[in-house]
Structure 1
Amino acid sequence: MLKTVIEMEKAALILKLLGDKTRLTMVKILDSHDCCVCEFVEIFKVSQPSISQHFRKLKDVGLVKEERRGQWIFYSVNKNNEYYSFVSQILDQLPDQGEKLKELEEQGTRITCC
Structure 2
Amino acid sequence: MRLELGWEELAECNKAMGDPSRLRMLALLKTEDLCVCELVEILGMSQPAVSQHMRKLKNAQLVKERRRGQWVIYSLDGERLPYFQSVVDHLPDLSDEIRALKTSGKKVLCDKR
TM-score by length of 1: 0.82
Aligned to 1:64: 63
Aligned to 1:73: 72
Aligned to 2:94: 97
Q: 1:39, 1:111 within 8 Å by CA — same for their partners in 2?
A: no
Residues 22-101 of structure 1 aligned to structure 2 (within 5 Å): 22-78=21-77, 81-83=79-81, 85-101=82-98
CA distance in 2, matches of 1:14, 1:68: 24
Deviations 1:57-112 (CA, angstroms, capped at 9, x unpaired): 11112111111112311111125x311x3211111112211111001011111132
Amino acid at match of 2:22: R
Amino acid at match of 2:108: I
CA gap 1:6/1:100 in 2 versus in 1, 3 angstroms:
same
Tell me which moved more, 34-43 or 60-69: 60-69
Aligned to 1:108: 105
Percent of aligned positions that are identical:
41
Q: 2:33, 2:73 within 8 Å by CA — same for their partners in 1?
A: yes
Give the SS at the match of 2:107.
coil
Shift of 1:34: 0.9
CA distance in 1, matches of 2:6, 2:70: 38
Give the SS at the match of 1:67.
strand
Shift of 1:11: 3.1
Give the SS at the match of 2:64.
strand
Q: Report the count of equivalent residues.
A: 110
Alignment gaps of 5+ in structure 1:
none
Shift of 1:32: 3.5
Give the SS at the match of 1:112.
helix
